[in-house]
Amino acid sequence: MTDFAFLTIADAAKKLNAKEISPVEYAQALLDRISAHDGAYSSFLHVSADMALDEARAAESEIMAGNWRGPLHGVPYALKDIVDATGMPTTCHSKVMQRNSLPETDADVTDRFKKAGAVLLGKTATHEFAIGGPSFDLPWPPARNPWNRAHFTGGSSSGSGAALAAGFVPAAIGTDTGGSVRNPASMCGLVGMKATYGRVSRRGVFPLSFTLDHVGPMTRTVEDNAILLNIIAGHDSQDPGSAPIDKPDFTSGLGRSIKGMRIGVIRHFFETDMQADPEMAKGIDDALDVLRGLGAEVRDMTLASLDHYAATNRVILLSEAYAIHEKWFQERPEDYGELARQRIMGGAFIRAADYVNGTRVKAQLVEAYNEAMTDFDVAITASSMDPACEIEDAEATERTYGRQARAPFNVLGAPALAVPTGFSSAGLPLSMQIVGKPFDEALIYQVAHAYEQATDWIKRRPPMAA
Amino acid sequence: MSDTDSKKALEAARAAGLGRMADRYPDDVARAFTFAQSLRSRMTIDVEPADEPAHVYRAGGGE
């Protein structure tokens, strides 16, 4: 009997194409699982069973007629609820948007899923407007971590992380402006890619920061992530940030040797600029040993300080976010939760000169990074500095909120992948980032896949799945 | 935060059209103001007059 809950996209595609499983039974099994378990995890804001089953039936008809569209045909997925999909509201997990009408068009990423024949199960929880959370003062509760529901999922793509870890979907979409795909990936034991700025269209996605926003794939394995990026990447003439550049096959390097690969370690991010939790740091060092064992050449490299990157990210992010929210902040501040209100409002007090200088600093940082990377193929650093804290411990969530090394890669626009590196003594996921040169996601996947195949972390299941 | 700084924060909020926010959420305003000030000191700005901002396609390949 097929374990639909933890089927990978790669395996599902083979079984669907071979007609060993049906898209309808696959969708129904996951809908049943969501119905049975999501009350404890709050990963979904909206589940649309009827729409999903209609899409699954359409996929089944096509596949049975011999018209298999590709690896996502008949495969269920979820969208972070800042991404538009016709027939479902886009709430941004906020009272501000709760009564808005349904979107009239799909986001570019949703359109690409539909063309691939995938089956949308629903929309997932987020931190309010992808910045304020985890919050208990919003119309919906925050998502909880399937590895321990007393713990935080990370965010802001919190529901996408929880839904994947819980076995509710094999594929989900998140967005990432200061690390919001990679944070829940790190805290929920998943693979999350923030591809190069411009690689994936942001059209139809509620903006947080125009120059830092990325849409990214979240999955349980590296191969699945590469499959998903193959589907969602591509130029979109209606997104001014979309890069007019060809996309490769992101799965092309999977299974290839990494012998001789030059891997930089941005150690100062997690040893001196910030000090990672010892178990998190050990997970990275153990991963580096694995990569050395696979023949990679590993040595330290140096970039600007993590705090310099973080401040640059926040100056730009908050200035742009505030510009988007200013009217609502003036007219209806009470409709925001406390955390979104506090965080976005910082942008009201950043001077225009500081914003412009932030973008000039960003240009310098990009140039310095590209220069530093000429000596390396990829680089490795921490993602989160700490395993997931308890979600109801407001002091701990606030203290650990900024303890991360993801924001630099939003400033740089460079690709960055969060990959599981094991588990803490408390049974919570550990992780690292593998980062690369602009538009070189395929090489990151090659390294990540080699590491993943040499370890067994992806075989573990959260206790709720037992 | 001192009373003087809180007052400064609330004045800045009102000047930005956030009077309703300042009246209802003075603590949030103070906190956001303090954070914004700290960001300015944390971002090292060492640019020449002709140094341009990063443009949308600066990541490479799409200029």
Q: Where are the domains of chain B?
A: 3-40
Cα angle vertex A280, ends A277, A285, to 5°?
120
Nearest CA-CA partner of A166 in A186, A188, A187? A188
B47 backbone dihedrals φ, ψ, rounded to 5°: -125, 150
- Residue A28, burial from CB neighbour count under 10 angstroms (0-12, 13-18, 19+): middle
Q: Are A196 and A176 in contact (CB under 8 A)?
A: no
Q: Is residue A156 annotated as part of the catalytic site, yes or no?
A: yes
Cβ of B56 and A356 within 8 Å? no
Cα torsion angle, A84, A90, A93, A95, sign: positive
What is the DSSP secondary structure assignment for residue A386, as one 8-state letter?
Answer: S
Task: Write down the pLDDT at residue A169.
Answer: 98
Q: Are A321 and A209 in contact (CB under 8 A)?
A: yes
pLDDT score, position A464: 76
Q: Do B44 and A438 touch (CB under 8 A)?
A: no
A307 contacts on B by Cβ (under 8 Å): 42
Residue A80 annotated as catalytic: yes
pLDDT value of position A332 = 96
Beta-ladder partners of A420: A431
- CA–CA separation, A322 vs A329, rounded Å? 9
pLDDT in tens, chain A (466 residues): 788 999 999 999 999 999 999 999 999 999 999 999 999 999 999 999 999 999 999 999 999 999 999 999 999 999 999 999 999 999 999 999 988 879 999 999 999 999 999 999 999 999 999 998 899 999 999 999 999 999 999 999 999 999 999 999 999 999 999 999 999 999 999 999 999 999 999 999 999 999 999 999 999 999 999 999 999 999 999 999 999 999 999 999 999 999 999 999 999 999 999 999 999 999 999 999 999 999 999 999 999 999 999 999 999 999 999 999 999 999 999 999 999 999 999 999 999 999 999 999 999 999 999 999 999 999 999 999 999 999 999 999 999 999 999 999 999 999 999 999 999 999 999 999 999 999 999 999 999 999 999 999 999 999 975 5
**Strand order from edge to edge, sheet including A429-436:** A44-47, A119-124, A76-80, A171-176, A214-219, A191-194, A416-423, A429-436, A378-381, A262-265, A297-300
What is the DSSP code (8-state) at residue A390?
Answer: B
For residue A297, the one-letter residue type is: E
Question: In this complex, which of A245, A307, A350 lies closest to B61 when CB atoms are compared?
Answer: A245
Name which of A137, A158, A278, A271 is nearest A218 in CA terms: A158
Gap from A279 CA to chain B (nearest CA, Å): 28
- B39 to chain A nearest CA, in Å? 5
Three-state DSSP class for residue A215: strand
Is B12 at the interface with chain A, CB within 8 A? Answer: yes
- A 10 A CB-CB count for A256 gives 13
pLDDT per position in chain B (63 positions), as tens?
A: 788 889 999 999 999 999 999 999 999 999 999 999 999 888 888 999 989 888 655 455 444
Tell me the angle at which helices A338-345 and B26-42 cross, rounded to the nearest 10 degrees. 40
Nearest CA of chain B to the CA of A274: how many Å? 15
Q: Is residue A180 annotated as a catalytic residue, yes or no?
A: yes
CB-based contacts of A104, cutoff 8 Å, min separation 6: A86
Phi, psi of A97 (to 5 degrees): -105, 0
Report the C-alpha gap between A374 and A385 in whole angstroms.
27
A289 touches chain B (CB under 8 A): no
| Residue A436 vs residues A49, A233, A274, B58: alpha-carbon distances, Å | 39, 17, 21, 15
- A297 DSSP β-pair partners: A262
Does domain A4-465 match CATH 3.90.1300.10? Answer: yes
pLDDT of the residue at B62 = 44
Cα A40 from Cα A418, distance rounded (Å): 26
Calculated CA dihedral for residues A19, A20, A24, A29, nearest 10 degrees: -160
Tokens standing for A258?
A: 């990494």
* Count of CA atoms in the C-beta half-sphere (13 A) of A153: 35
By CA distance, what is B20's nearest residue in A? A330
Q: Which pairing describes strands A429-436 and A171-176: parallel, antiparallel, or unpaired?
A: unpaired
**Marked catalytic residue, from A42, A43, A180, A186:** A180
List CB contacts (< 8 A) between A326 and chain B.
17
Residue B11: CB atoms within 10 A of its CB come to: 13
Q: Which two tokens stand for residue A286?
A: 């153990």
